[in-house]
Structure 1
Amino acid sequence: MTSMCVNDVIKEEYSFVYGDEAVTYEVIRKPQSEDKKRKIIIKVHPNCEIIVTSPEDAERSDIHEAVMKRARWIYVALKEFRSHLEFIQSKQYISGEMQFYLGRRYVLKVIEDSDTATSSIKLYRGKLLVTLSTLNKDKANQVKTLVNKWYRTRAEIIFHERLAELLPQTTWIKGIPSFRVLTMVKQWGSCSAKGNLMFNPHLIKAPKECIDYVILHELCHISEYNHSEKFWRLLTSVMPNWKQVKTRLDGMAELYLNE
């Protein structure tokens, strides 16, 4: 379980197992006036996030019981939303579209400014702001190129930071492994037999915990170049909640990989 407090609202994260899948859900505890009936509300969102809203003094056991009573409904809803994600339309790279960065959503805003010397891109007040100095015939492709270059640059920076943070846990590794950022269709990362690492730049769209999972997964392959029981034990030793994190990443994969 993890928890944090934002603007006096306590957020917690738990999981339960349904079939062969670990399902993660977030609990948000909110103050409730005495004249209102105490309720535990469960919502499954189209992006496959599961949010449970409860009174701030609700017992953990009561929340768990409420979730387990609706476990089948939650699982069915997840399957339905995941099937919808398979038919997500390709991006047009126009203002108003949604972009992701480190698990957060940002609205793409495209501005044309002939007075600007060079085109630029930056995060600004909840938006991914793209400023074009000149236009070519294919404006969408111009924006796409800038966006993908920005993602790759941010990926190289953040992946280096996370790798340095995680290496002390991986005692079987000597030195600092190098890696390349390479776009892959169906993989978040890979490790060659020689220990060469590659990470998908689209992974930068996911929360840091998901990035850590992929990095640790590939670092474990340096010791165990397979998916044997020994490999999974090693991964569990450095990330005990990897199943929940993997489920979270898998649930958003279609959105993160969508171009």
Structure 2
Amino acid sequence: MTKTIISGTTQFKYEELEEERKSFGLTVFPSGQVVFKTPKKAPTAERQAFLLKKYPWVQRQQQFFKQFRPKSQCFTSGSDVLYLGRRYQLIVNTGKEEKISFAGSTLIIGGEKNVQALLIAFMKARAERVFAERLQVCLKLFPDYVGEKFSLKIRQMKKRWGSYLKGGTIALNIDLIKAPKRCIDYVILHELCHHRHKAHNKDFFALLEQKCPHYKALKIELERKVLG
């Protein structure tokens, strides 16, 4: 449920989610959206007091993410294409057969009329292959998962890089193909930790730090390289 808190000059909107939990949780997404998770029985006064106390932090997070506003992809010759952390110059060969390939620091596409469709299909195919490879690499850090089955789904997501679904399925944002492999690994490791700990509690973060000691730096790098 979308709500607005107002106190003096303080005013911001947030999504409130009531859950079976013992403490409050607050998340600011790269889009600037604020999600507030609260115990179902928490009094309204306690909820508002928590939000007002956290408001300066919310502002800092929103300002931080404003640095990395997403840039729309251009599909004309000379524009940039981001792939696995590197920028490539897009070269469109008008009138050539429909194909796409890397050549040094360029990405060459034939068939000007279908440039957008070709590039999207190419990136999706690359994402399927690369994400599957990285999942296998990351699973080696979880020997206790041996024998369990995990699968991947690739989605367009606005609010998150990945999500752990039921039955060992991990959904990954297709835009992750723009990030370096170490950042892709961080997201996959994050979701694999949810196989053991569903909530973002201290046990979850202890496991994440064990499997990915530099996860905080990788999260910042991911935001900067893909959203910047």
Which interval holds the TM-score relative to the shorter structure?
0.5 to 0.7
Candidates 122, 144, 158, aligned match of 1:150? 122
Partner residue, 2:140: 168
The percentage of counterpart residues that share the same residue type is 36
* Conservation of the 8 A alpha-carbon contact between 1:166 and 1:216: yes
Deviation at 1:148, TM superposition (A): 1.1
Q: Tell me, yes or no, if structure 1 residue 191 matches structure 2 residue 164.
A: yes
Partner residue, 2:192: 219
Compute the TM-score of the two structures, normalised by the length of structure 1: 0.59
Structure 2: which 5+ runs fail to align?
1-61
Alpha carbons of structure 1 residues 241 and 84: separation in structure 2 relative to 1, 3 Å: closer
Equivalent AA in structure 2 for residue 157 of structure 1 = R
* Conservation of the 8 A alpha-carbon contact between 1:193 and 1:225: no
1:197 counterpart SS class: strand
Alpha carbons of structure 1 residues 90 and 168: separation in structure 2 relative to 1, 3 Å: closer
Q: Tell me, yes or no, if structure 1 residue 83 matches structure 2 residue 56.
A: no
Deviation at 1:165, TM superposition (A): 1.3
Partner residue, 1:126: 105
Compute the TM-score of the two structures, normalised by the length of structure 2: 0.67
Alpha carbons of structure 1 residues 84 and 216: separation in structure 2 relative to 1, 3 Å: closer
Distance 1:80 1:128 in 2: 34
Partner residue, 1:182: 155
Alpha carbons of structure 1 residues 246 and 84: separation in structure 2 relative to 1, 3 Å: closer
Partner residue, 1:252: 225
Candidates 64, 80, 83, aligned match of 1:101? 83
Equivalent AA in structure 2 for residue 93 of structure 1 = F
Deviation at 1:80, TM superposition (A): 8.1
* Conservation of the 8 A alpha-carbon contact between 1:180 and 1:197: yes
1:99 counterpart SS class: strand
Structure 1: which 5+ runs fail to align?
1-78
1:223 counterpart SS class: coil
Q: Any residues of structure 2 matched to 1:16-55 within 5 Å, and which?
A: none
Q: How many pairs were matched up?
A: 166
